[in-house]
Amino acid sequence: MADGPARAGEAAVQGGELRILHTNDTHAFLAGLDDRGQACSTDAACRGGMSRIAAAIDAARRERDNVLALDAGDQFQGTLFYAVEKWPVLAEFDRRMPYDAMTLGNHEFDEGCGGLRHFLDAQPIPVVAANLVPERGCPLFGSRIRPFLVREVEGEAVGIVGLANDRVTAQAQACPHTTFRDAAQSLRQAVAALEAQGVRRIVALSHLGLPADRALARQVDGVDIIVGGHTHTYLGPGSTEGPYPLVERSPSGQPVLVVTAARATRYIGDLFVTFDARGIPVQWRGGPRELLPEAPRREDLSALTARHAAGLERYQAQKVGRHAVIMPDGMEACRSGECFSGLLLADALLDVARPQGAHMALVNAGSIRAAIPPGEVSRGLLLTAIPFGNAVVLREYTGRQILRALEHGVAGEGGRGPALLQPAGLRYAVDASRPAGSRIVAAALLSPDGKAVPLEEEKRYRVALPAYLARGGDGYAMLREGSPLPLKAMKDVEAVEIHLAAHSPLERMCGGRIRRATAEKQVEK
């Protein structure tokens, strides 16, 4: 935990020290995670978990009353706890968590604005989101969301400004009346309002992602610290993204400290900041603290975790098949290239729709939340890996529309990200060194006998896909343009259960569907 530089000639202790403990993207990992990164059902032998987070915050406050505890959003979605019990289980935990404030991630909108409103009404943690402006007609209109709040820490006022994820109309189930203002403009207005009240220490609590947070730090004066989430970034020793904290400079040249703490409750960020008399950071230290199994737990939350885990046992006992496929898998793997769970889901959707003439299936990587390890597969494991309960639909598209969708899937940095499409009945090659919009260098339809035929722009193809994509989710506006075709009503996880039952034990998976190309041009043969 190295100290940041102090300003020459200024007494670093004049303004006192603030300690911020922070989490983000906890994603319902209530019991933490095991050594493979899989969600645990009980917290005794695992890393992280809500009982360890609460114990860490409580212990810090016993040491000194200069602590702010913040959560940067995305509590929803990611484990069997959430897949089965939804927002009520999170609200029950939040009623016991010692957070001072939270903001909203994209997944808080997965149950629509009505579900989010119920969650907010059921838990007491203050929610801040200066950029969220629900219109009349939205269930969030008149809710307890506020743009900012002020906390007194050792006699000094600290402002906390929220910035919710502003892409939820494309990424989640936000209603049409959920509107957002520009993040930088919202932050400037909140800072001005706080400064008018005499508040000089200001923290932005953001779920916009690390690149956006760093840009805001350089654009907006008056913000001292940005606590972020969304990109699941680990900062600190061994990180390729940078040290903890990252230090940016505001337009006036003052330091802005930017922090975030990975995902899934494995770490709690622990930042110490000393201010001068004007409220400007002059020294800082801290880092991510990994919450190892031996870390203290809070007994009431461990007991609550165990009680809810007991209700999940029947899902874990329901075996739906077995597989022995060794290949990359899990949320991060599926966003980087082909992965077992993504290809399995795509194969299952194609199986369901092939009797209706489907040529291929497409699944966004963001729909996969966990790995499905080799061995017996339970219904609980499937619900953890594929938790959204999307309906399977069949649409007809031109080859040109499919190519546009493939390009959108690889438009992110390095051709990776949650929009990456996991295919069945199709293979494609990506050259991520090219500009976004021109990265797909080859795409071919794969027939059941394994033959590859180049995709034709004017030809029409029948595609099985989750209803989320067909509605234009994850920015796939071109997939809203498909012609609907009849298909038996079925959820995605049901399709996978049927597929596994028919192919169990699944011994191998046809790979090579997403190829990373280095040549300027690749020709399918």
Q: Which of 253, 286, 310 is the last residue of a domain?
A: 310
Q: Return the pLDDT at 431.
A: 97
CATH code where residue 51 lies: 3.60.21.10
Compute φ and ψ for 196, nearest 5 degrees: -65, -25
**In 72-176, at which residue ranges do the beta strands (DSSP E only) sit?**
101-102, 132-134, 148-153, 156-163
Residue 469 in any domain: the answer is: yes
Q: Which of 310, 330, 348 is the last residue of a domain?
A: 310
Same domain, 252 and 359: no
Radius of gyration of the chain (CA): 24
Q: Residue 368 belongs to what H/E stretch?
A: none
* Structural domain boundaries, residue 371: 319-516
Provide the domain count of the chain. Answer: 2
Residue 217 in any domain: the answer is: yes
Residue 346 in any domain: the answer is: yes
Residue 9 in any domain: the answer is: no
Beta strands 460-466 and 360-364, pairing class: parallel
pTM of the model: 0.88
Contacts of 289 by beta carbon, 8 Å cutoff, 6+ apart: 56, 267, 268, 269, 270
Same domain, 259 and 397: no
Q: Which of 267, 282, 310 is the last residue of a domain?
A: 310
- The answer to whether 210 and 258 have CB atoms below 8 angstroms apart is yes
CA–CA distance, 509 with 497 (Å, rounded to integer): 16
Q: Return the pLDDT at 4.
A: 54
Residue 486 in any domain: the answer is: yes
Same domain, 151 and 297: yes
How many alpha carbons fall within 13 Å on the CB side of residue 73? Answer: 29
Q: Return the pLDDT at 123.
A: 95
Residue 18 in any domain: the answer is: no
Angle of helix 210-219 relative to helix 183-196, nearest 10 degrees, comes to: 50
CATH code where residue 476 lies: 3.90.780.10
- Taking only the tens of pLDDT, the chain with its 525 residues reads 445 554 333 444 566 899 999 999 999 999 999 998 889 999 999 999 999 999 999 999 999 999 999 999 999 999 999 999 999 999 999 999 999 999 999 999 988 999 999 999 999 999 999 999 998 999 999 999 999 999 999 999 999 999 999 987 765 667 888 889 999 999 999 999 999 999 999 999 999 999 999 999 999 999 999 999 999 999 999 999 999 999 999 999 999 999 999 999 999 999 999 999 999 999 999 999 999 999 999 999 999 999 999 999 999 999 999 999 999 999 999 999 999 999 999 999 999 999 999 999 999 999 998 999 999 999 999 999 998 889 999 999 999 999 999 999 999 989 999 999 999 999 999 999 999 999 999 999 998 877 899 999 999 999 999 999 999 988 999 999 999 999 999 999 999 999 999 999 999 999 999 999 864 344 343
Residue 117 structure tokens = 């409103």
Residue 10 in any domain: the answer is: no
Same domain, 272 and 208: yes
Question: Cα–Cα distances in Å, from 139 out to 115, 177, 303, 483?
Answer: 9, 9, 34, 32
What residue has token string 């597929």? 499
